[in-house]
Structure 1
Amino acid sequence: METITQKQRVNCKKCLMPFEERFINKQGECVICHEHQKKWLNRDYAEKEKELRGIFEHYKERHKDQKYDSIVAFSGGKDSVYTLYLVTRKYGMRPLVVTADNGLLTPVAMANMKKIIEQFDVDHHIVTRDKEELKSIYRAFFQKTKNFCEICYLTIHSALGQVAMEYNIPLIITGYVFKIDSSHFRAAHRYCFEDAFVEMVKETIPPDIYQKYLTKQVRAENQFHLLHLFDYINHVDEEIYNVIENELGWNSNNREDKHMDCRFHHMLGPLRTLNNDHTALAMMTPAALFRDGQITEEQFHKELAKQHTSFEEVDKEQLDEFLEFFGIDEEFLTSKLVTPKLAQPIVKEREIDELIQSRRQKGADELELLKVLLDGIRPEIKRDGGDIRIISYNNRILKIELLGACRACTIADQVMMRYLEHLIRSYISEDITIENVKAIVP
Structure 2
Amino acid sequence: MDLEIFDRMESEVRGYVRSFPVIFNQAKGSVLTDESGKEYIDFFSGAGTLNYGHNNPILKKKLIEYLNTDGVVHGLDMATSAKKYFMETFERVLLKPRKMNYTLQFTGPTGTNAVEAALKLARQVKGRSNVVSFTHGFHGVSGGSLAVTANEKFRDAAGVSLHNTAFMPFDGYIGPDVDTIAYFERMLEDPSSGLDLPAAVIVETVQGEGGVNVASWRWIRELEKLCRKFDMLLIVDDIQVGCGRTGSFFSFEAAGIKPDIITLSKSLSGFGLPMSLVLLKPELDVWKPGQHSGTFRGNNLAFVTAAQALDSYWSDDQFQNETRRKERIVRDWLENIVHSFPEAGFSVRGRGLIQGLVCDATPELANKIAKQAFAHGLVIETSGAQDEVLKILPALTIEDAQLTRGLELIERSVAEVLKQEGKKSKVLKFGA
State whether TM-score is above 0.5.
no
TM-score, L = length of structure 1: 0.27
TM-score, L = length of structure 2: 0.27
